């Protein structure tokens, strides 16, 4: 059996530059990945099967085809192999701006590549990832990177590893399509150049204002995170509704998580570090 972690993705900055003719948007974003997330387990089997476990598994149970099974089908069409028994242990909330489905698809591609003897940096594997979603190539790369185009053109960066991070989701699912449709269409400028943390601090998330219109509680999450001792940056990730805070010390991250769990017990929290 091959076991592959599907780590949560966050956008430390996300600049939307323009609407594209193909329905996507021209982006400049700084991706970072946590050490924690979902888990994909794959083994050869007599017949193909797919199972869901974990606290958020039930939310996907009624979907039928999903990004994991789509990734497996696309891999088989390109490389052969199988059939496989696939289990997704789902710990990341659904439709939450942290790349859950994209990370699961990418982890499936990595696991199948390992199982079938395909290099994980094989260019056709990234071509498959791009067909599955704009964030899947970044999740397949699985390390901090600047993304351009629709997010699939990636330049790896260093300097963010081991930074304490806290994710908080208020239990609200936000539609990515709805948030992008509500973007005001104003190009507020590029991501710029410099060290990754400096880019993050100077950057913004252009999807946060429209996401707050859909789910005003996002503003409450960001404000609560920003007020915690030791926070260097608090912002919404992706199209929401998950928000993150980067901390100067792990102990302060843990203290903030304890406070939020006590004051907002219905909110989802994940303590982790950047990979």
Positions annotated as catalytic residues are: 9, 135
CB 27 within 8 A of CB 17: yes
- Residues 59 and 92: their CA atoms lie apart, in Å, by 11
SS3 of 21-63: CCCCEEEEEEEEEEEEEEEEEEEECCCCEEEEECCCHHHHHHH
Question: Is residue 55 within 8 Å of residue 38, measured between CB atoms?
Answer: no
Can you list the positions of beta strands (E) in 54-197?
84-89, 145-148, 153-156, 164-169
Degrees, nearest 5: CA angle 147-152-125: 135
Helices 217-226/250-263 angle, 10° precision = 140
Between CA 17 and CA 187 the distance in angstroms is 5
DSSP state of 205: B
Provide the 8-state DSSP code for 93: P
DSSP lists the bridge partners of residue 236 as 243
């Amino acid at each position: 059996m091959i076991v592959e972690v599907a780590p949560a993705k966050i956008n430390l900055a996300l600049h939307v530059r323009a609407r594209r003719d193909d329905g996507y948007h021209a982006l400049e974003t700084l991706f970072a990945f946590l050490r924690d997330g979902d888990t994909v387990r794959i083994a050869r089997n007599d017949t193909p099967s797919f199972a869901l476990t974990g606290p958020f598994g039930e939310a996907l149970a009624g979907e039928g085809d999903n990004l994991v099974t789509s990734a497996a089908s696309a891999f088989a069409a390109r490389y052969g192999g199988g059939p496989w028994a696939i289990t997704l242990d789902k710990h990341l909330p659904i439709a939450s701006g942290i790349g859950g489905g994209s990370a699961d698809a990418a982890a499936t591609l990595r696991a199948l590549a390992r199982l079938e003897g395909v290099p994980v940096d094989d260019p056709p594997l990234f071509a498959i990832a791009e067909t599955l979603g704009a964030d899947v190539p970044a999740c397949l790369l699985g390390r901090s990177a600047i993304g351009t185009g629709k997010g699939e053109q990636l330049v790896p960066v260093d300097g963010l590893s081991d930074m304490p991070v806290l994710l908080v989701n208020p239990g609200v699912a936000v539609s990515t399509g709805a948030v992008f449709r509500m973007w005001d269409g104003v190009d507020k400028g590029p991501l710029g150049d410099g060290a990754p943390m400096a880019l993050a601090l100077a950057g913004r998330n252009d999807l946060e204002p429209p996401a707050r219109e859909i789910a005003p509680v996002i503003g409450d999450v960001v404000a609560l995170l920003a007020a915690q001792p030791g926070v260097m940056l608090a912002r919404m990730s992706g199209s929401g509704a998950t928000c993150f805070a980067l901390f100067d010390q792990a102990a302060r991250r843990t203290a903030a998580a304890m406070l939020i769990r006590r004051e907002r017990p219905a909110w989802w929290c994940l303590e982790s570090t950047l990979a």
